Structure 1
């Protein structure tokens, strides 16, 4: 059996809401990462699937890089561990940096992935970054599969069926966040958001949900990518005397959060989102004397987000590859499932051609085909090899793609910070 490991010495380059999406947790199904094969294989395969990553090793979302890359690597290892039976291997991953819209590492990475002939590029994390290279990937005929894009714009993107994501669109997170703030009894809320497709989309849905629940937006401030001073926005927020402030940011939280608290705003009235929900207590960039105790935040988080067994497996693979232990598991589940779904779609198509694989992704997710439920690569592979249809439910949940490549079932987790400045899932 081959075991895939990630090495930076190798090639390293420079959400849709369901009906009832206002619930904090939707349609969760406890997937697993181990288990017995369910059906004796009868069909043979001889496939070598080549994938690449365009995930943030640098830039404003670099904190998401380690858990996402760990998810990709662990999934590839699980696929390869069953290669003797399934006939499909992931022999190599071309690891690449997406950076962000400011440092533009994605521009080099996507061209390298195209020239390397990958079937699929896993990434980017940032919706804004993906928008800048997606047309190039589509023109080259490769799949772009993001574990973290949430912009509403991708639902109607002209992508020739080559764009997919395991993260739900901002419709879902915005509704959950709006209801969370309302259910916490907040009535007069101020918002500071990043003026890009991610920030504007999430802000719009949040405000619609919160005001629909009877709340009032007393101040709305925005900023642009690359801004470093937020004094004017913070002054405007404070002047509105809000009983909660929602911060829809990326790494700007390192400036904005401490500044708000220094201005006397209580941390337990702050609400964060997936772009800035970090474990500040283990982050050397966060001032040790600034407490976020009581602050809350939301992020896509599958049913296994709090499952120690899956996180242990992620850390085992990550540390064995020469890295320090993960302290954040954001989008690791979604990254793992992206790779497993690609492998299953390749098996179902008996092909590594991107168009063939893409044509089977909805089926293996349970979006079409009335398939048999399975929650491990091994079990699903055996169903496919027996000539049947598999319906994979993984660590991120049921997924169930629609025709646009959007998951129609997802879970949003609610987290709260303790005295140690670490966040813990509470819902």
Structure 2
């Protein structure tokens, strides 16, 4: 269990002076292996900031909320450099992101935790994030851990009648972690893992790996980023007819996969991702906002990106200042009961309640955003397959 640690040094790290704008650092992976996934996430972050500024801004004086963006490139080294600049040069109050697990872990361990700055990731999902803190309460995420998605994917494989398969995973924090969870859950459910091999990202060819894995099974569980080896590995597998069925997780869920490989070749492909229940009032409020701004409301981690931005701003508003030391506790306060329910876009309403000393409970586009003791949230997942040349999602849990 994490415990809040408010040291004197952290308390002195006030990011902006009174009457100044409020700055939140946003180290998204604008380049790297998943830029197509990240682009609408950035749009959702910007929409949340616009909604806030259009409805009175921050505090009684209406200061602007500024999103200070940087590129973490889905890379641990780049993330450390980006967040170091955001904290030490741009003096941000909190960190919104990074997107990828390796980047989120590296920057938190090296930069944001030592500086006493709260991180709220929009999508980093490695199970390792749940237990990485010791004595602090500074790392949160608005998407469920892959400790749950790996199990959901294993259950889906069994339901589809897959009783044996080979596993290939990219050698990075995210893909290695979810592959491990998946393999354990699949085996526990009665399945057989015929081979379980890491592959290095961004190779020109994976024919050797495909041949080795394909000799053990007709089914492949692939955990990779589409832009750093995933498409190439699938292409090599399709060219050689090594596998008849592919399953995997959200690192592969991109339109570019269909464009590169052809929809006609993806009739037996299923990928899972974090999802939202589109029947809830919260998602309905978000969908109206997203459609008005031309943002795909249901794309992977796009609702989570809006939620995370809105919640960090609510936490700072609740604290009454952008003092870094106050963000963590306030983030827990605004995201759980008791309090009046606040939906996406309802900044003016929330601001008035907080100004009167009341409590709020933000219910997000991505679902309930109550943080557990590790800063994690529960979540839903969907399965996506190719229908009429495009990804079609279906909620599974």
TM-score band w.r.t. shorter chain = 0.7 to 0.9
CA contact (8 A) 2:83 2:107 kept: yes
Alpha carbons of structure 1 residues 386 and 308: separation in structure 2 relative to 1, 3 Å: closer
Deviation of the 1:361 alpha carbon? 0.9
Corresponding residue for residue 80 of structure 1: 53
Listed as ranges, the matches of 1:299-318 within 5 Å are 299-304=273-278, 310=286, 313-314=289-290, 316-317=292-293
CA contact (8 A) 2:22 2:64 kept: yes
Alpha carbons of structure 1 residues 186 and 143: separation in structure 2 relative to 1, 3 Å: same
Q: Give me the whole-angstrom Cα distance separating, in 2, the residues matched to 1:303 and 1:289.
A: 27
Corresponding residue for residue 334 of structure 2: 364
Match of 1:258 among 219, 225, 235: 235
Listed as ranges, the matches of 1:182-197 within 5 Å are 182-197=158-173
Q: Give me the whole-angstrom Cα distance separating, in 2, the residues matched to 1:305 and 1:337.
A: 17
Deviation of the 1:122 alpha carbon? 1.5
Corresponding residue for residue 60 of structure 1: 33
Q: Give me the whole-angstrom Cα distance separating, in 1, the residues matched to 2:37 and 2:261.
A: 20
CA contact (8 A) 1:292 1:419 kept: no
Listed as ranges, the matches of 1:193-212 within 5 Å are 193-212=169-188
Q: Does 1:373 align with 2:341?
A: yes
Deviation of the 1:316 alpha carbon? 4.9
Q: Does 1:224 align with 2:200?
A: yes
Alpha carbons of structure 1 residues 215 and 117: separation in structure 2 relative to 1, 3 Å: same
Deviation of the 1:230 alpha carbon? 1.7
State the Cα deviation string for residues 83-126 of structure 1 (Å, max 9, x = none).
Answer: 16963544322111111338x43344222211100111211111
Match of 1:109 among 70, 78, 82: 82
- SS of the equivalent of 2:272 reads strand
Corresponding residue for residue 417 of structure 1: 386
Alpha carbons of structure 1 residues 105 and 354: separation in structure 2 relative to 1, 3 Å: same
CA contact (8 A) 1:305 1:395 kept: no
Alpha carbons of structure 1 residues 294 and 382: separation in structure 2 relative to 1, 3 Å: farther
Corresponding residue for residue 343 of structure 1: 313
Q: Give me the whole-angstrom Cα distance separating, in 2, the residues matched to 1:52 and 1:209.
A: 36
Corresponding residue for residue 148 of structure 1: 123
Q: Give me the whole-angstrom Cα distance separating, in 2, the residues matched to 1:349 and 1:327.
A: 30
Structure with greater proportional helix content: 2
- SS of the equivalent of 2:95 reads strand
Alpha carbons of structure 1 residues 411 and 63: separation in structure 2 relative to 1, 3 Å: same
Q: Give me the whole-angstrom Cα distance separating, in 2, the residues matched to 1:86 and 1:227.
A: 50
Q: Which 10-residue stretch deviates more, 227-236 or 253-262?
A: 227-236
State the Cα deviation string for residues 259-312 of structure 1 (Å, max 9, x = none).
Answer: 111112466x211211111123774xx144862124111011122499798457
Uncovered stretches (5+) of structure 1, i.e. residues with no partner = 1-44, 320-324
Q: Give me the whole-angstrom Cα distance separating, in 1, the residues matched to 2:31 and 2:57.
A: 36
Deviation of the 1:315 alpha carbon? 6.0
Residue-pair matches, total: 368
CA contact (8 A) 1:258 1:290 kept: no
State the Cα deviation string for residues 145-168 of structure 1 (Å, max 9, x = none).
Answer: 211111111112237322111011
- SS of the equivalent of 1:177 reads helix
State the Cα deviation string for residues 1-22 of structure 1 (Å, max 9, x = none).
Answer: xxxxxxxxxxxxxxxxxxxxxx
Uncovered stretches (5+) of structure 2, i.e. residues with no partner = 1-17
Listed as ranges, the matches of 1:7-156 within 5 Å are 48-83=21-56, 87=60, 89-101=63-75, 104-114=77-87, 115-134=89-108, 135-156=110-131
Q: Give me the whole-angstrom Cα distance separating, in 2, the residues matched to 1:126 and 1:346.
A: 25
Q: Give me the whole-angstrom Cα distance separating, in 1, the residues matched to 2:80 and 2:381.
A: 31
State the Cα deviation string for residues 158-204 of structure 1 (Å, max 9, x = none).
Answer: 37322111011111100110100011111111111112221222112
Q: Give me the whole-angstrom Cα distance separating, in 1, the residues matched to 2:297 and 2:211.
A: 33
Q: Give me the whole-angstrom Cα distance separating, in 2, the residues matched to 1:127 and 1:139.
A: 18
Q: Which 10-residue stretch deviates more, 333-342 or 216-225?
A: 216-225
Deviation of the 1:392 alpha carbon? 0.8
CA contact (8 A) 2:217 2:243 kept: no
Q: Give me the whole-angstrom Cα distance separating, in 1, the residues matched to 2:318 and 2:285.
A: 29
CA contact (8 A) 2:31 2:74 kept: yes
CA contact (8 A) 1:67 1:328 kept: no
Corresponding residue for residue 426 of structure 1: 394
CA contact (8 A) 1:192 1:222 kept: yes
- Identify the structure with bigger relative contact order (alpha carbons < 8 Å, sequence gap 6+): 1
Deviation of the 1:136 alpha carbon? 1.0
Q: Give me the whole-angstrom Cα distance separating, in 1, the residues matched to 2:118 and 2:41.
A: 17
